[in-house]
Structure 1
Amino acid sequence: MIKTTVFYIRVIITIISPFILLFLPANYFDQGDSICLSKMLLNYQCYACGLTKATMHFIHFEFEKAWSYNKLVFIVVPMLVPLWAKAIYEIQGKKMPGVLGRLT
């Protein structure tokens, strides 16, 4: 019972999250201090610093601004698309077809 509930919560959050982020303004996360532990404790920017801000600008088609926050967004966001598609298949009780079904 708990395993099924956790599964549905995880899948529903995965499916709904991109739409929620799309309705927020692109600069929603631009203000405020960083919550990255490496930045707070060591004053060192890790590879993921700025990735949330970059993702927000990427999904709002502001590619230059996304590039300025974190260049890895052009690798990370396209990798999230198959995971999002997999969640849609999982909620229907199906397995993803093709190569992506075997990889994910």
Structure 2
Amino acid sequence: MSINWHKFGLNPKRNPKLVWGSSLGIGGLLYLKIWIPVTGIEIPCVFHELTGFYCPGCGMTRAVLSLLKLDFYQAFRYNPLLFLILPMYITYTIANKKQMPRISNVIMSVMLIVTLASGLLRNIPAFVWLAPTAIR
């Protein structure tokens, strides 16, 4: 029995999603692990720069960097939304692939509500613990 290794290649015509996903993943890792540490230049949050309020995604880059270092506590401190949305997104993807539109629509609605609630709550003083902060 032989394995046809040529079928596993990153051929853009056979596997365009795999090629694009791999390219984005590699580009993201290069940005996070090389560009930011070497230059110190990050992409700022335009919403925060203009309004002074935290958006639901503020701190997400730092949270992913902390996860790459396996520092889950600090990742949670930067953006706890990541820990809520990621399992829901995985469940949504599975429901979508299994062609369960009602379940996938409900999960997408819940993700939208949780994201909007997170964006609103993290700017209220009583929920300051949701704002992106570092260990002090």
Higher RCO (C-alpha 8 Å, min separation 6): 1
The structure that has the greater radius of gyration is 2
Count of equivalent residues: 84
Quote the sequence identity (%).
Answer: 20
Show the counterpart of 2:23: 13
Correspondence for 1:54 among 56, 60, 63 = 63
Q: Is 1:67 matched with 2:76?
A: yes
**Unpaired segments of 5 or more residues in structure 2?**
1-11, 105-136
Root-mean-square deviation (Å): 4.1
* Contact 1:54–1:65 (CA under 8 A) maintained in structure 2: yes
Q: Which whole-Å CA distance do the structure 2 matches of 1:7 and 1:99 have between them?
A: 19
State which drifts further: 8-17 or 46-55. 8-17
Show the counterpart of 2:47: 38
Q: Which whole-Å CA distance do the structure 1 matches of 2:18 and 2:42 have between them?
A: 33
**Unpaired segments of 5 or more residues in structure 1?**
87-97
* Runs of 4+ with >3 A deviation: 3-9, 14-18, 31-34, 76-82
